[in-house]
Every structure is written in C-alpha cells, then in structure tokens.
Amino acid sequence: MTVHPLIPTFRRSGVAMAVGAGLLLAGLLSSPAAMAARVITVADMGELAPGLGSTAQAINNANRTVGTAREGVTLQTRQVVWDNLALQEFSACCTGFLPTLRSINLSGEVVGDYFATRDDSVPVYWNAQGTASTLPTLANPSIGGFGFANAINDAGQIAGAALDANMDTHAVIWQRTSSVRDLGFMGQPAAGFKRYSVAYGINAQGEVVGQGLVGSDQRAFLWRNGIYTNLGLGKASHINNSGLIAGWTSGIIPVTWSAGVMKYLPALGGGRKAYGHLVNGMNNKGDLVGYAPSPTGGTFTIAVLWRGGKAIKLGHFPGGNNSYATGINDAGVIVGSGNLVPGGPHHALRWTVTNQAVTVERQ
C-alpha cells in the first residue's frame, strides 16, 4: 500500500493506515510540491501480554529500544527490549520500586535506577544481555548505595549522582561498574541546604551537563576537563557530540545552549517560548524530542519533535489522546509512549518522520 505525502500514517500489528486520504488525495496528486512533503508514521510497539501495556524509554543507533512491560502470568513489570519492533523480555531487576531505564548505548548497555525506598534510589547498570549490577557510590565505593544513573556513552562512561555518608549529592562519572569519579560541586549551598549536584548527560568526549545548587538557586552546568561552567538558572539535561546542550531555564521553559549562548525552543502551534513543554531526548544531529500540552486540554500531553528551529507535532496514536516522546537516535527514529484509546493503558510507540512518500507493506 502506498502512503502519500502529508497524510499522517499509523501502524498497528504490521498494518499501516492512512488518515484523511479521501480529503487530501486529489490535491496531493495534482501538486508538484507534494513529493517533498513531510510524512509522519507512528507504530504500536506492542506488549508482553494483551491489555497490560508497555513503555519505551530510550533508543540507540542500532534501533534497539528499552523500556518496561507487564507480563501476563504474575502481572509483574519487566524490563524489555525491542530490536526494531521485535519485543522480548530483557531483565527482571529489581527489588523495591520499579526501575526506570534511562539510557542505552550502541553496544546495548543500559543505565537507570530504582527506588529502594520511597525517597532513596539506587543506580543500576545492565550489560547488553540484561544482567543488572548496582553501581558503586561514594558512601561505600565497594558496594552499591543511593544515587542516580542518567546517561551512558559508547565508551561505557555513565553520568549521574551519588550520595555520600552525609547525604550530600555529588555529580559523578562511573566507568561501568569498575570505578566512580567524584565531580564535586559547582558551588556551595546557602545555610540550611545540603550540597547538591547531579550529572544528567554525557557525550563521547566525556563532557557532562547537569544541575547544581549554588546558594539557594538551582543552576544548569557544563562540566569539561574538571571545570564547571555555570549556564544560569535551570537544568541542563542532554549534550550531544557536537556540544549542543538542551534543558530548561527559569520557569521550566525548554532551551538549548550552543557555545554558551542560550536559545528558547519554539512552542507547538507558534510562540517564541515553549511554556509547558519538556525535552526528553536529543540526537547528534541536533533534533530534540519531548512533549507539549495537548490541544485537547486537561492533563494530557502530545509528542513533539524540534527540528531545524521548528516544533513538529508527532501526534497521538489514532484513537488515543495522550502521548510523549522519550528518545531519538541519529537516524531520526523516535520512541515514546501513549494510549491507544482514552483511558487505556499506555503502549510503547515509535515515530518516523520523512520528507517524501513512503511505502508500507502488510506483514
């Protein structure tokens, strides 16, 4: 089945559907510019058991996606992996509260964390086969402790945070499970505050971005070669191999930093500042993904791609009313989650965006 440009297409169980074709087809076929039009497709990535849902949390450049899904026997939530759209169980970590898988590198190594208590999380590393290991922390580097593991690069360097014996939070870099490097703090807190610094992103050069407490203000930072650069109020959450940084500034407004210069991301539907939007992922081409407030209102959101200085609506799965994007690889494949029907469980979703007509075949 051929899908024409400008017609959003949706795929479920291997079948693509064109929406609005009857309204648009005649104009598309008569328009010479149609062949350069944007086509957005969204696919349901499936679940381990019918009706129990799934989430996609990160994707690498080999099109391997990690997330979670509930299985149908004990109804427990498992960590899962998709190779393209082929789903299988990945791991059954961990005791306590369910883990979040935050980042996957090219080799398929994964990092994240789980809450051992309602207040304290434990950083975790999974090898490519799904074996989980607790990362060492500063309170006792020989064993696992409290902290966060937020991003892993292809060299196995992990950016995150670890708590010391005084429960101060240090930005750190782990080298897989073998060692932990304390990055210290960007500044000192005001009286009555704990010292606090968290690394959220790391690139191939080992440059780290994050957030730290200076006085009573939370400030975004870049850490490079042992030196902190204060980027201003907010949080820096991602850095790519070109040094582009993404995050948010005062008011939780999404921004990028390039060579120290901050720029607001545009809002979906217009507007210079993307109030209510959030960035969840970035690739090495400078594409960013996340979500915006849904036009239907309420507490719902809608997945968004920022590309070439524009905000592009990725949309919901047809019939759903909530979606958000969590990751994008260098090929532009986007993953996230959303419901298929209002009130239904969330399913992992995968979006592709092209600028030409595509062919989708029944499988």
CATH for the 93-264 domain, from 3.40.50.1370, 3.40.50.920, 2.130.10.150, 2.60.120.10: 2.130.10.150
Q: What letters, b where the CB count within 10 A reaches 16 and e where it falls short, cover 107-118?
A: ebbbbbbbbbee
With beta carbons less than 8 A apart as the criterion, state whether 164 and 138 touch. yes
CA distance 177 to 154: 15
List the Cα angle 6/47/111 in 5-degree steps: 95
Span 260-308, pLDDT tens digits: 899 999 999 899 999 999 999 999 999 999 999 988 777 899 999 999 9
> Domain-by-domain residue ranges, the chain?
93-264
Per-chain mean pLDDT for the chain: 86
Instruction: Convert the pLDDT of each residue in 166-220 to its tens digit.
Output: 889 999 999 999 999 999 999 999 999 999 999 999 999 999 999 999 999 999 9
Q: What is the pLDDT of residue 143?
A: 63
